Amino acid sequence: MFSNALPEDVLYIIKTLNQAGHQAYIIGGCVRDAILHTQPKDWDITTSAKPEETKELFSHTFDTGIQHGTITVVLNHTNYEVTTYRIEGEYEDCRHPSGVTFTKNLQEDLLRRDFTMNAIAYHPEEGYQDFFHGMEDIQAKTIRGVGTPALRFQEDALRMLRCVRFAAQLGFDVEEETYQALSENKELIKKISVERIHDEMEKLWLCHHYEKMPLLWQSGLLGEIDGSFANRLMQRAHNLLEELRKAPKNSVLRWTIVLQDYSPQEAKAFLKKFKFDNESLKGICLLLENINQELPTQGYPLRGLISKLGLEAVEQLITLQEILRPTAPSLQTAQCLHKIVSDGDCLTLKSLAVDGQMLMEMGVPKGKKIGEILAVLLDFVHQNPQGNQKELLLKMAKEHM
């Protein structure tokens, strides 16, 4: 159905494996997305070849998760994950299989996958290998666990969160037995590492089928992940979904909206608990600290604010204000900011026409005084953007000495 849409590199990988006597198919998200006519993010290949056999066939490969059978093949600067058919052993703790066994049987590999829509293999000549009727489920916009959903969630509890995320990503409904299994096994999510939960929640807030997001708390899953977070979120769920709908797809912005009624201290504890990286943590907390302030609509105070918080943060605050406080004069602030940027106004010490070295040459002693004078000069330039001239500023500095 979509073989002419397959990239040349993918066709080459499949052909090379086939010519060496191995089976090979594209699999998982890329097949699902191609059926849905959305551009796959990446192309994954599943093969009967053992990892060492795959490595022998391609000149540029590296080991990605060799213990799980995954090799990355690099072609034309693009990475393709090629994974050996495998059967997962017993799951001991709702997250890790006790062992992985390679197999020569495609169907066995498909059986270990989470949802029917993710368990369709495709070969450019043979077509679809769809043992679990994933195609029908995709057409009916249904998410259905492969086999017995409860067992699949008990094997790896992250699948429950993936289920909700896929619903919000694709706008699909969760099939009844699968949903039942999810709500009955929700407490198992506690066994999953915060990192894996973070990654899925991160993806969830960036999805655009907002109407499906309530599955996260209505199923009770969020309550198991973090009870107080779930309670706070549910109280303003309706507004939240509307706000997310208006927000650009930016992680820091969306998390700020999600955590908008958290104090910066509460947010910091939450973000640390879920192991956010430092940059995101700082970005979200900075926005939360400033989320309720009136944004200036005049050049002087706005230049000061940009100098203090950074241009990106002020732009994000304007966006947040537009979404959360529609009566605020966001348009004026945005226009003023636009003019400041297009005029190239001096905003920080970096673009000030004088620096510490020049002040020292003029006789200002090294130390605190330099910083004080530079701050006065910068404030002057914020007030008078035309005044960012070396001679004028040095003259002012002299008066301050």
Q: Which of 23, 118, 129, 178 binds ligand ATP (CB under 6 A)?
A: 118
Binding flag, residue 70, Mg ion (CB under 5 A): no
Which of 265, 163, 263, 249 is CA-nearest to residue 206? 249
| Candidate ranges 152-160, 237-245, 288-296, 392-400; the one touching ligand ATP (CB under 6 A) | 152-160
Cα–Cα distance, 12 to 254 (Å, whole number): 40
CB of 114 to ligand ATP, least distance (A): 4
The binder of ligand ATP chosen from 49, 69, 85, 113 (CB under 6 A): 113
User: Does 29 participate in binding ligand ATP (rule CB under 6 A)?
Assistant: yes
Residue 51 contact among Mg ion, ligand ATP, none, beta carbon within 5 to 8 Å by kind: none
Counting residues that bind ligand ATP (by CB under 6 A) gives 11
Measured CA to CA, the distance from residue 167 to residue 159 in angstroms comes to 12
Identify which of residues 195 and 361 has a Cβ nearer to ligand ATP in the complex.
Answer: 195
* Closer Cβ to ligand ATP, 165 or 303, answer by number: 165
Contact 106, 128 (CB under 8 A): no
Q: How many CB atoms lie within 10 A of CB 165?
A: 24
Separation CA 335–CA 384 (nearest Å): 18
| Window contacting ligand ATP (CB under 6 A); options: 8-16, 151-159, 268-276, 301-309 | 151-159
Q: Which residue from 225, 131, 156 is spatially nearest to 187, judged by alpha carbons?
A: 225
Residue 80 or 270 with smaller CB distance to Mg ion: 80
Sole residue written with tokens 């050996």: 84
Q: Are 274 and 198 in contact (CB under 8 A)?
A: yes
Which of Mg ion, ligand ATP, none lies near 352, with the C-beta cut-off 5 to 8 A by kind? none
DSSP 92-148: SSSS-BS-EEE-S-HHHHHHTSSBGGG--EEETTTEEE-TT-HHHHHHTTEE-BSS-
Q: Report residue 250 as tokens.
A: 């930016």
Of 61-69, 155-163, 230-238, 352-360, which part binds ligand ATP (CB under 6 A)? 155-163
27 versus 378: smaller Cβ distance to Mg ion: 27
Residue at 238: amino acid letter: H
Burial 106-131 (b: 16+ CB within 10 A, else e): beebbbbbbbbbbbbbbbbeeeebbe
CA 26 to chain centre: 24
Figure out which of the listed residues 109, 114, 130, 243 binds ligand ATP, where binding follows CB under 6 A. 114
Phi, psi of 262 (to 5 degrees): -90, 140
Q: Give the nearer residue to Mg ion in terms of CB position, either 199 or 266.
A: 199
Judged by beta carbon distances under 5 to 8 A according to partner kind, the member of Mg ion, ligand ATP, none in contact with residue 118 is ligand ATP
* Residue 105: Cβ within 10 Å count: 12
Nearest residue (CB) to ligand ATP, 202 versus 322: 202
> What is residue 65's three-state secondary structure?
strand
- Chain residues 158-197 in contact with ligand ATP, contact rule CB under 6 A: 158-159
Q: Which stretch binds Mg ion (CB under 5 A): 22-30, 176-184, 213-221, 327-335?
A: 22-30
Q: Is 29 in the site for Mg ion (CB under 5 A)?
A: yes
Of 156-164, 216-224, 378-386, 393-401: span binding ligand ATP (CB under 6 A): 156-164
Q: Which of ligand ATP, Mg ion, none sits in contact with 113, Cβ below 5 to 8 A by type? A: ligand ATP
Applying CB under 5 A, the residues found at the interface with Mg ion are 29
Applying CB under 6 A, the residues found at the interface with ligand ATP are 28-29, 41, 44, 113-114, 118-119, 156, 158-159
